[in-house]
A = this chain, B = another copy of it.
């Protein structure tokens, strides 16, 4: 792929500052970029790199000062980067076909327009729609559904009866539909509660490597349309995650929690069971949330408090030892004062 900067400006809806006839052939990071490379600066803290980069052109946001380089000013350089990457590095198309070394139980329905690699296992009653790609080691349990154009990377497991929507991406090692963690009399009887529900994943969801999503106890664990989940996330039984929410790596969401739309949950945060998180809530990384959170709030910390408050608490913590000393000395001084005034 070879494009002039002017051509890129037309595609990305941007404005050229500098030489619009310079040709870009690749997209590379600002540090590595050289002749023929289009680079980008999405984070203002990296703007100083504009002075030293050897890139032929750089995607920047409005208001970036020129430094004699060829700039392509776009509303959002990160979005433009995504578009440019999709253009320069289109996904490899797989030649559709069902490997004769895949294991397909009788009574499974597999579209001829699906790509099924060797070593895939598909249980009876399962339905695999057209355009689906199942990589080696994928297991699709009985009566499960994988809808159009979804991609399941190697060694993904989908338990029986779970439903995967259209254009869903499950990265390697994802487990969908293992039993929820339900035991009556925990620590004593540990009596297993059969988990007879399912997982439903709606269209355009992406799930990161080795993430686990447990099946519902009775009904469904439900990941709604457009949700993006990172690696090594744990999602308990009966959880509902609202449309377009974003769950960063290693988050744990306990059973029966409900998240609204467009929430962002920071890495390693833990959400307690049975709580309701409103739409557009942001939870800071490593936070622990154990109560309902109203829509639109930003919460952080091990206890759940407004993010601004948490920042202040954070600032206090290192001064705690000093505060303790001060309190002791205040006590002593007051005692003296009290004695003195009493004496009189």
Contacts and interface: CB of A to CB of B under 8 A. Distances in A.
Interface of A: 27-29, 32, 43, 45, 76, 78-79, 81-82, 85-86, 89, 91-92, 101, 103, 117-119, 121, 135-137, 139, 142, 153-155, 157, 159, 169, 171-173, 175, 178-179, 181-194, 196, 206, 208-210, 212, 214, 217-219, 226, 228, 230-232, 234, 236, 244-246, 248-250, 252, 254, 262-264, 267-268, 270, 272, 274, 280, 285-286, 288, 301-303, 305, 309, 312-321, 323-324, 326-327, 330-331, 333-334, 337-338, 340-341, 344
Give the secondary structure class of A's interface.
loop
B252 A236 contact: no
Contact of A137 (B82, B155, B179): B155
A181 B344 CA distance: 70
Contacts of A318: 303, 305, 309, 313
A306 to B, nearest CB: 9
Given A78-B193, A103-B117, A121-B154, 4 more contacts: A159-B172, A209-B214, A249-B252, A315-B321
Name the 8 nearest CB pairs between A and B, nearest first: A157-B172, A139-B154, A175-B209, A121-B136, A312-B321, A85-B194, A178-B209, A316-B320
B267 A270 contact: yes
Contact of A187 (B172, B190, B262): B262
Contacts of A341: 337, 340-341
A338 B330 CA distance: 11
Contacts of A135: 121, 139
B330 A331 contact: yes
